Structure 1
Amino acid sequence: MLSRLSHLALACAAWGAIAAGPAWAQPAPAFADLLRQATQTAPRLKEAQAGVREAQGLALQAQARPNPVVGLEAENFGGKAPYNGTNQAETTLSVAQALELGGKRSARVSAANAEVTAAEARNRQASADFAYELAVAYAAAEAAQARADLAAQALKRSQDDLGVSRALVDAGREANLRLVTAQAAEASARADAEAARADAVEALARLSALAGVAEPYTSLAGGLLSAPASPSTADGVPPADMPALQVARAEREAAGKQVTVERRRAIPDLTASVGVRRLNGQGLTGNDSTALVAGVSVPFPLFDQNRGNVAAASARANAADARFEEARLRAEADWRSARVQADAAVSRVSASQQSEAAADEAYRLARVGYESGKTPLVEVLNAQRALTDARRTTLDARVARVRAQATLARLAGRAPFGE
């Protein structure tokens, strides 16, 4: 109870701050416009895009060849005679170059490019997930705003009922108990209106944060809850290009290429060197002279054959295979479930609209009967609560329909509602 009061107090404070805010406060645009704007401002999408750039940078680095090594050596100096000076010193300037053998570079480049493909697939999945969450948050904010309007309307009806009750009591046609009951109902409706308004402020703040907007929206254009339902498809076969499958497939491919990289790392590399040696006071004439030096070296794989890294990469590849199979099974199940939920959501909206129409007519008749003295106040209050509940149920059904349609769009890798 305390947490609920704290939540309500904070939300009311936020509402007061926004209501008294400066003129820069803007309403949220329509969902399609907000989604286009959010692609440039949402932190989550920026993070996914940065992941692609990171993979591209690593792929660029994978193309680099080993740098040459320049060496300078001096020997036969600073010792005992005849080497106590530099007259007998030998100086060698050389350049060494490591030569990658066994296709290491091509395997490394191929694995890095596979990581770029996986990062791009993750970016597409992040975009689809973000569009889904933005649609759900937008629908939630729109529903919260509508609930606040419903609560305000319920408060207005309670105030009207209170006025009628007061007039009937003053005319001696009702007991004072009826007036007290109406006053209690009006107070309850007022509290519900304040709570609904606070919930609307909170929902708008969450939507603003998700879209990456610095200042929270104070209202929104709406229209998402009344968007037409997507046509139902006969089969429940999931699309072959679902983002979850693309990510799992790309990660499996990248893991497989990494095994090749580790296997080729076990092949020793060749290092070739060439240089110039200066000989002081040596040679046939006793004068200074120079000579070329060259060499080749190769590691002998006696202790390190990279077996551990090969085994680890193979295990990661096996895990990627398992994740792909899990993703495939889950995608099929999620798609079929989403299709059923979308169809059920459409039916639920239709049924709730019919219930709302019946509740509206029941309340109208109860008011007419009460004003004519034929219906007790309690029936009017019950009819009013039933109407409010029916309208809230319709809102919940519309939100569920938006969520179901957005889920289908997310699974298919597209933005919801035709964008």
Structure 2
Amino acid sequence: MRIENVTWPRWLGKTTMAALMLATVSMETAVAQDAQAVSQLTLSDALNRALDNNPITNAADEEIRAVESEARQAGLWDNPTFVAEVEDFGGDREGLGDADTTLSINQTVPLGGDRSRARDAANAWAQAARADRDLHRTRLLADTAQAYVAAHAASETLAVRLELLELANNSADAINSRVEAGRASPIERSRASVLIGRATIAANEAASTQAEQHDRLAAIWSGGRLDADFVSPLDAFDLSRFENAELDVWISENPELQKLHAITRARAQEIRQERAAAIPDLTVGAGVRRFGGTDETAFVATVEVPIPVLNRNQGGVRAAASRENAARLDEESTRRALLARFASASGRFERARSTHEQLSENILPASENALSAAQEAYREGALDVLNFLDIQRSYFDVRVDLISAQSELASALIELDALAGAPQLNRMVNASPEEEHND
């Protein structure tokens, strides 16, 4: 559910709060009737929607088809040519009837195999286009997963902030009643007002963040309003697969590195193509000639071969070799950059996991114990209401910190997975909810 920013009244009782939230939900439901609404959205659902509706993968497929068509075209021989030649007519001779006429068909034969080399080079570029499509796909999955994590965290944070605001308003009602009855100082009313104000600001900021992150996620596949309950993205990952990973093995399937490696292979094929182009093509022809003066006919044959004295395609071969060297250097440079990115992402993952474990296993239980003790002390009169509200707020802040830690851990997992070619994200695509949680 998505909640818009609202201005909360200073003194808002439980009944009024419930009515206000019910009205807000009703308005949201009415707006959502024209949008696609789902009761629950998993990370797998979001990834599938992105692949089904985002044009970037379709555009990459079109480029692959274009390059494959170019490969087929590159392997074709030149068309044969038909030649009609009319000689020795007019002047001292009669008209066209006395002319010598030759009809022939000529065909260029690529002796050096440059057509097949050109086809091989074009096919290598088609493979590079496929690698580029895989890179776009991986980036789309990673961006979608990151947006999903942010939207999930925003929704969870808003729920906690609204819960805290409701408790603060209920407590403020009690304080206001005590002040009006003369059993408490008006100062307590002012302090309670401060607590409510802070809770209101936090709730409004959380509502704004939730709306922003929901819109960001929905824009990946179509835009519009997104009304859904999110499932924790951490449930979809197997954390054990991220432990003790070896650098070179981890990035060996990186799509960016795979694309550059495919480009290097294509550049190598271009060298072979340019070397084949240095061998001259042979043009052969055959036809028939009619001699106009005697009305006799004879067969003719022609052979034409360029002499490779001045142009042996030296420049083309050198240019292709330089481009291959540049591609290899670019590939090595990217490999080193990926190693650095992996080291950074791995460190981020370890820090995020440590923070998440500390919050979930130590800090949150301690905060819950403190809140329980404060509740008991408040019931016994050993703790005033405002200090009790401060302890409550601290407990809710810890819950928000845990949400942030879960989001950071999931984000680090996605970054690491994308560096390895997104094996876990790809596993989630078209996976059923049961498979997603069981793996």
In the superposition, the TM-score normalised over structure 2's length comes to 0.81
* 1:288-299 correspondence runs (5 A): 288-299=295-306
1:123 corresponds in structure 2 to: 133
**SS at 2:33's partner residue?**
coil
Once the two structures are overlaid, the 10-residue window that deviates more, 158-167 or 44-53, is 44-53
Larger mean Cα displacement after TM superposition, 45-54 or 392-401: 45-54
- Find out whether 1:222 has 2:231 as its counterpart: yes
Name the residue aligned to 1:171.
181
Contact kept? 2:35, 2:226, Cα under 8 Å:
no
Matched, 1:349 2:361: no
Distance 1:336 1:236, change over 3 A: farther
Question: 1:244 matched to which residue of 2?
Answer: 256
The 3-state SS of whatever aligns with 1:73 is: strand
Task: Measure the CA separation in 2 of the matches of 1:380 and 1:55.
Answer: 69
Q: Report if the CA contact (8 A) 1:236-1:335 is conserved.
A: no
Q: Which residue of 1 aligns with 2:116?
A: 106
* Mapping 1:376-415, distance limit 5 Å: 376=384, 378-415=386-423
Structure 2 equivalent of residue 44 of structure 1: 56
1:278-320 deviations in Å (ceiling 9; x for gaps)? 333x12xxxx333322212223445543333222211210111
Distance verdict in 2 for CA 1:170–1:214, change over 3 Å: closer
Alignment of 1:156-305 (within 5 A): 156-210=166-220, 212-213=221-222, 215-227=224-236, 229-231=238-240, 232-239=242-249, 240-280=252-292, 282-283=293-294, 288-305=295-312
Which string of whole-angstrom CA distances, capped at 9 and with x for unpartnered residues, describes residues 237-275 of structure 1? 432433333223222111111112112212221111222
Aligned residues: 400
Tell me which amino acid in the other structure corresponds to 2:182: G
Partner of 1:12: none
Are the counterparts in 1 of residues 267 and 320 from structure 2 also a CA contact under 8 Å? yes
Contact 2:67-2:122 within 8 A present in 1 as well: yes
Counterpart residue identity of residue 324, structure 2: A
Q: Distance in 1 between matches of 2:286 and 2:118?
A: 28
Q: Alpha carbons of 1:228 and 1:306: their partners in 2 closer, same or farther (altered >3 Å)?
A: closer
- Measured after TM superposition, the shift of residue 392 of structure 1 is 2.1
| Percent of pairs with identical residues | 29
Output the amino acid matched with 2:119. Answer: V
Q: TM-score, normalised by structure 1?
A: 0.84
Unaligned runs of 5+ in 1: 1-7, 10-14
Looking at structure 2, the residues matched to 324 and 254 of structure 1 have their Cα atoms a distance apart, in angstroms, of 13
Q: For 2:201 and 2:29, how far apart are their aligned partners in 1?
A: 20
Decide whether aligned partners of structure 1 residues 365 and 168 sit closer, same or farther in structure 2, where only a CA change above 3 A counts: farther
In angstroms, what is the RMSD of aligned CA positions?
A: 2.9
- Measure, in 1, the Cα distance between the counterparts of 2:248 and 2:407: 24
Please tell me whether residue 76 in structure 1 is matched to residue 88 in structure 2.
Answer: yes
Q: Distance in 1 between matches of 2:147 and 2:173?
A: 39
Q: Secondary structure at the match of 2:107?
A: strand
Give the whole-Å Cα distance in 1 for the aligned partners of 2:424 and 2:400.
24
Does residue 109 of structure 2 align to residue 95 of structure 1?
no
CA distance in 2, matches of 1:73, 1:220: 81
Residue 3 of structure 1 corresponds to: none
Task: Go from structure 1 to structure 2 and tell me whether the alpha carbon gap of 1:291 and 1:18 turns closer, same or farther (over 3 Å shift).
Answer: farther
